[in-house]
Chains A and B, each alone.
Chain A
């Protein structure tokens, strides 16, 4: 059913992925910023992306069921707290299950408020963010006074979760057998492009925590559930047109509850990941707005699993780069220029004159910036992930379309 001349989604994704690595390796050679395609950067990018992916998946399930979930941040806070609390007592896996459960508990409150009582979705979500932060603080203070926690802002340490890599390619360890590490040896050869690709792949497939593997696998699983099962079809139909869904016998309330509860579970897992895998304990305020960024990644991805993965990866990559090597960010400006030129060419082909001019002007500005400044000021460097997301989002925003009934109150029988 593909249009002629258009590539299938999978093939296009692969081409884009390798295309970006190719551009990055050209920039690496041109500027000497070796961290652009290093194993460490890829690993860090993955680590920073996972909580955002999970939050974005959370947002996806809720919005596809027609409920806007601003409360993702609060549900992540609950998850992170539960991860630290249960994880430090009963081990990391129990901690993660508790994180999912607590995220879902936060979501249940949101579901009752918005679905059953028809509270404005944004109001309820904001309330949950505030309540979650206060609640965990309150319990933590009691725990700290009881002496079982080192302080009200920090849980005891959680044991690390096991990690592994792909067999043969990335030096995984299976049943006592240490596999070779082919990607790493190619990566160290420093062949142009081939080694760059190997290093990135090695970073993405080696020394992965098992939770990271699960989290990444949840993206295709979510796609399958939402687009290939009847449950997914029903859930999405309640987000597009609940009245029509109802007329076809779908239990809209139940579907919405499912969507929001799953949403909370994902967000909770994201919080638990931050506490248990990315760090080794719960730290107050460690979520730091990742719930909102997840929401932005979902918009970025046009309410689709693959798209939100790309959005999270872009953010995670830019964040990893700015945290690891500010000099590499300077080189990254060239990538932005390349991207803008590409966008300008595309809009030129479509005859959109204003968009072409804007893109060209921006490209010129960043090119000038690249030449004029040897090093970027720290403020700008930390802004990079947000800036990169914003640029791509603003260029792509014309084509974004969310579920039609997201955020609208629903009453059985169409009563308003």
Chain B
């Protein structure tokens, strides 16, 4: 009895999925009905959610994909799960989940809807054939930021502020430190995280990040890279304060080109930003779906998806403001060496 219902449900789901795939071909518009589930912050967070939204917008424009956007508000796993399940039930395919916090919920929902193609940004732990893991080689982009930092520093003392000490942000740290050391082996990098897990408050505490940055500046550090979400603003503010006392401190932004959203005073110290092109990855997923394919290179550990490094234009540094134009040759050389495999950038901090 129960089994027959399940079979019937499966058949119904399959027909539904097939229907979704087949039916709209008659239309001139794209058959793709894509959905995106943002994490807390959603569209307008000036960070990776916004970047993902940009990819979605591009897909909508280029092949008229139907799109649906949802945002998590409470941030519980059950809420994430509900959002994903609703989207899958409504027949959206592909469904992109933005952020590693979706990993647990996604695993459940993707098992329930094997015909729906899912994608997750910043995670490669869900080993299912219908999940594309979109991961980034942040260490490569951070390496380039490290090269720029080492070249720009006068004191040879450089700082790194991470939001929360999680493996993802340690990837940034490792790449950045490697980039600094490769460029100036006498330079030192001070590493500090705002909070330790499970306290994720470090992503939203500009006050604490500012205290950290001030401490670094007092020590003589003159370039600070912050990979700390909303806390990064504290780093930029500390540099602005330092400038009032005639102290030049460069800051390096993260994820999106933070020069573009910085205030006039902050722009003066914004050396560069480490770019993470989530938009490219999201666009890839929808574009693949549009031509009936999926993003499913093997990532090892049973996971499928793609790693976006320098090679695929997934990471890089921004040149807004023009402060690092003079280092471009050296940065490009480092990028080339990484792409060619001559430089292996570490993904975990040394020690």
A: residues with CB less than 8 A from B are 35, 38, 40-41, 43-44, 47-48, 51, 134, 137, 141, 144, 149-154, 157, 274, 278-281, 283-286, 288-289, 319-320, 323-326, 378-379, 382-383
Which residues of chain B have C-beta atoms less than 8 A from A379's C-beta? 165, 196
What chain B residues lie within 8 Å of A154 (beta carbons)? 45-46, 230
Check A48 against B233 for contact (C-beta < 8 Å). Answer: no
CB contact between A40 and one of B206, B218, B233 (< 8 Å): that residue: B218
Question: 4 more A-B contacts (CB under 8 A) besides A48-B208, A51-B207, A134-B73?
Answer: A153-B230, A279-B234, A323-B212, A382-B195
For residue A149, which residues in chain B have a CB less than 8 angstroms away from its CB? 44
Q: Which of B220-239 contact A (CB under 8 A)?
A: 230-231, 233-234, 237
Cβ contact within 8 Å between A153 and B206? no
A-B pair count, CB < 8 Å, reads 110
A35-B215, A154-B46 known; A283 vs B196 contact (CB < 8 Å): no
- Are B45 and A153 closer than 8 Å at their CB atoms? yes
Q: How far is the CB of A243 from chain B (nearest CB, A)?
A: 42
Q: Is B21 an interface residue (CB 8 A)?
A: no
Q: Given A144-B44, A324-B211, A325-B215, A382–B230 Cβ distance below 8 Å?
A: no
A324 contact from B196, B201, B215, Cβ within 8 A: B215
Q: 6 tightest A-B contacts by CB?
A: A324-B215, A151-B44, A278-B207, A279-B206, A285-B204, A288-B201
Q: Cβ of B234: which chain A residues have Cβ within 8 Å of it?
A: 279
Q: Does B107 contact A (CB under 8 A)?
A: no
Contact call B205/A288, Cβ cutoff below 8 A = yes
A76–chain B nearest beta-carbon distance, Å: 12
From B45, B46, B207, A279 is in contact (CB under 8 Å) with B207
- Chain B residue with Cβ nearest A38: B218
Q: How far is the CA of A271 from the CA of B42 in the complex (A)?
A: 23
With both beta carbons as reference points, the residue of chain A lying nearest to B49 in the complex is identified as: A151
**In the complex, are the beta carbons of B261 and A153 less than 8 A apart?**
no
Our pick among A152, A285, A323 for the contact of B215 (Cβ within 8 Å) is A323
- Nearest A residue to B234 via CB reads A279
With the chains together, A224 CA to B263 CA distance in Å?
43
CA distance A393 to B208 in the complex (A): 24
On chain B, the residues within 8 Å of A141 by CB distance are 42
Give chain B nearest CB distance to A290 CB in angstroms. 9
Does the CB pair B204–A284 fall under 8 Å?
yes
Residue among B50, B165, B211, B261 with max Cβ neighbours from chain A (10 Å) = B211
A154–B165 CA distance with the chains assembled, in angstroms: 23
Whether the Cβ atoms of A40 and B261 lie closer than 8 Å is: no
Most interface-central of B40, B44, B45 (chain A CB within 10 A): B44
> Which of A44, A151, A157, A325 contacts B263, CB < 8 Å?
A157
Could you jot down 16 A-B contacts, CB within 8 Å? A35-B218, A44-B214, A44-B215, A134-B73, A137-B73, A141-B42, A150-B46, A151-B46, A152-B41, A153-B42, A153-B44, A153-B230, A154-B230, A283-B204, A283-B231, A379-B196
A151 to B40, CA, bound (A): 11
Q: Is the CB of A151 within 8 A of B204?
A: no
Given known contacts A134-B73, A280-B237, A286-B204, is B211 in contact with A44 (CB within 8 Å)? yes
Q: In angstroms, how far is the closest chain B Cβ from the Cβ of A40?
A: 4
Interface residues of B in 11-45 (CB under 8 A from A): 40-45
When the two chains form their complex, are residues A324 and B46 in contact, meaning their CB atoms are under 8 A apart? no
Give CA–CA (A382, B195) in the complex, Å: 6
Q: Give Cα distance in the complex from A157 to B265, angstroms.
A: 12
Does B58 have its Cβ within 8 Å of any Cβ on chain A? Answer: no
Q: How far is the CA of A382 from the CA of B219 in the complex (A)?
A: 20
Q: Which of A150, A278, A286 meets B261, CB within 8 Å?
A: A150
In the complex, what distance in Å separates the CA atom of A278 from the CA atom of B82? Answer: 37
B320 to chain A, nearest CB (A): 17
For B75, the closest partner residue in chain A by CB is: A285
Q: Which A residues touch B211, using CB under 8 A?
A: 44, 47-48, 319-320, 323-324
In contact, A288 and B204 (Cβ under 8 angstroms): yes
Residue ID in chain A nearest B237 by CB atoms: A280
Q: Is the CB of A286 within 8 A of B207?
A: yes
Q: Are B207 and A382 in contact (CB under 8 A)?
A: no
CA distance A153 to B205 in the complex (A): 12
For A274, the closest partner residue in chain B by CB is B207
Query: What residues of B have a CB within 8 angstroms of the CB of A324 in the complex?
Result: 211-212, 214-215, 218
CB-defined contacts of A319 to chain B, threshold 8 Å: 208, 211
B226 CB to nearest chain A CB (Å): 13
B contact residues around A44 at 8 Å (CB): 211, 214-215
Q: Which residue of A lies closest to B203 (CB)?
A: A285
Separation in Å of the A115 CB from the closest CB of chain B? 30
Residues of the A chain whose Cβ atoms lie less than 8 Å from the Cβ of B143: none
Knowing A152-B41, A379-B196 are in contact, say whether A284-B230 is a contact too (CB < 8 A).
yes
Whether the pair A283, B212 counts as a contact (CB closer than 8 A) is no
In the assembled complex, how far is the CB of residue A298 from the closest CB belonging to chain B, in whole angstroms? Answer: 21
Closest Cβ of chain A to B176, distance in Å, is 17
What is the distance, in angstroms, from A184's C-beta to the closest C-beta of chain B?
12
Closest to B230 in A: A283
A316, closest chain B residue (CB) = B211
A151 engages B207 (CB within 8 Å) = no
B 175-217 to A, binary, CB cutoff 8 A, 1 in contact else 0: 0000000000000000011111001010011111011101100
**Contact yes or no, A283 B233, CB < 8 A:** yes
